[in-house]
Structure 1
């Protein structure tokens, strides 16, 4: 008999708090502050910080940093608003930096 394995997760690299599901990845072709980043449709066990406007590679966005709810490590950000119509698909989505998350249940 095979093992019953739960969903493939990504967790905070610092404290292993689960922060997103592998199935929620929209794209792996994003850039974070510290290198590659993934765009996720959902995130969990995070705290969303205050909103601020930032000039990113794809233009002006309103974003809010997201931190692990256990250890408060900043993991990425949430797109609150995109000013360019072509970028509106990012609104409500999450960027998690590859260097700040680890795979669990793979």
Structure 2
């Protein structure tokens, strides 16, 4: 009989708080502040910080840092607004840095 396994999760690297599901990954080809990052359509158990304009690799964006709701570690950011038409698909999505998350249930 097959063993039942729960959903594959990504957790905060510091406190293991669940922050996203593997199924919510849009892309693994992003760059964060500290290396590789993943683009997620949804995240959970995070706090979204203050909006600010940042010049990123792909141009000017309005973003807000995303913090773990338990330990307050910065995990990445949320794209609030993209000014380039080709970047509009990022709006409302989240970057989580690979170095700031760990996998569970794999």
Q: What is the TM-score of this pair, normalised by structure 2?
A: 0.99
Aligned residues: 106
Alignment map for 1:24-103 (pairs within 5 Å): 24-103=24-103
Does the residue aligned with 1:102 lie in a helix, a strand or coil? Answer: strand
Does the residue aligned with 2:89 lie in a helix, a strand or coil? Answer: helix
Query: Which blocks of at least 5 consecutive residues in structure 2 are unaligned?
Result: none
Query: Which blocks of at least 5 consecutive residues in structure 1 are unaligned?
Result: none
C-alpha displacement of 1:3: 1.4
CA distance in 1, matches of 2:4, 2:69: 28
CA distance in 2, matches of 1:55, 1:5: 41
CA distance in 2, matches of 1:50, 1:3: 43
C-alpha displacement of 1:41: 0.2
User: What is the match of residue 11 of structure 2?
Assistant: 11
Q: What is the TM-score of this pair, normalised by structure 1?
A: 0.99
